Chain A
Amino acid sequence: MVFSALVAITRRNAVAAALWAAVSFIAIAGIFVLLRAYFLAVVEVLVYAGAIMVLFLFVIMLLNLREEDLKVVEGPRLHVMGAILAAGFLGGLVWTCRRAGLFEVPLVTAKTAGETGNLAGPLFQDYVLPFEIASFLLLAAIVGAVLITKRRLT
């Protein structure tokens, strides 16, 4: 998962990057299965590896970039700064986890934790309002995307 994510952000070709990211998303779905979040694993594969990646590839191929468009000058300074920042961030995170004793906490392995039926309870009872807001957000996103890509507003 980490390897494919790393490869994904270093590709110059955007199509290759998108496909490597899809591999990463499928690996994350595997992690969800290990954590007994079966419904989320299925949603991850369907929405991320399916819909979002198809949208990405569609746009990349719609833009039809030529070779010279891809030749962006990316200086080594940015990469060095990024690596230093990454090392600091990750070091701090691991240090905090170790201090909080999270490495000693084993994972719970209940058989049927995150199945669809168990998830539907909190989703449609405690979280009804966020659920409806999410549906409105998606509607707004659809309308917004169509409006933005329209050539002229008449």
Chain B
Amino acid sequence: MSVGHLITLSGMLFTIGMVGVLSRRNILIVLLSVELMLNAAAVAFVTFSNFTKNLDGQVMVFFVITVAAAEVAVGLAMVIALFRLRVTVDTDQVDLLKE
């Protein structure tokens, strides 16, 4: 197993998350896909931390996880607020700013 293999793995995970964000319309699954993309970035960080023999990359992953936790908390709060307002989780029906 080499650095390139792990970067490819991280790229596959990121791509799956990207497709999820772009092609799904259930807002919960879109949020989940964003989490997958953040995890792909974390895998790449740890791989390059191994590559450069430097622990800074792993510290950065720690911060990525912190930010992801904050993002999920706020994101899900917004989903709940949205559901109260419109009773939907479909991103195409959220067009309040259009009116």
Contact = CB atoms under 8 A, between A and B. Distances in A.
In which size bucket is the chain A interface? Answer: 35 or more
Interface string B12-32: 111111111011111011011
Given A9-B20, A63-B80, A137-B70, A2 B62 contact: no
Contact of B16 (A6, A36, A103, A151): A6
Contacts of A90: 8, 11-12, 15
A31 B3 CA distance: 12
Interface residues of B, number: 70
Given A35-B46, A105-B51, A107-B2, A94 B73 contact: no
Contacts of B69: 47, 51-52, 138, 141
Contact of A89 (B1, B15, B31): B15
Given A110-B53, A141-B71, 15 more contacts: A9-B36, A21-B36, A37-B50, A47-B68, A48-B35, A52-B72, A56-B32, A59-B79, A69-B89, A74-B25, A94-B11, A97-B4, A98-B4, A119-B59, A149-B77
30 contacts: A2-B12, A5-B17, A8-B20, A12-B26, A14-B28, A17-B28, A17-B32, A25-B39, A31-B9, A31-B46, A35-B6, A43-B65, A47-B69, A51-B69, A52-B35, A52-B68, A59-B76, A74-B23, A81-B22, A86-B15, A86-B18, A86-B19, A93-B7, A93-B8, A97-B7, A105-B3, A119-B58, A123-B62, A127-B63, A141-B71
Interface of B: 1-9, 11-20, 22-26, 28-29, 31-33, 35-36, 39, 42-43, 46-47, 49-51, 53, 55-56, 58-59, 61-63, 65-74, 76-81, 83-84, 87-90, 92
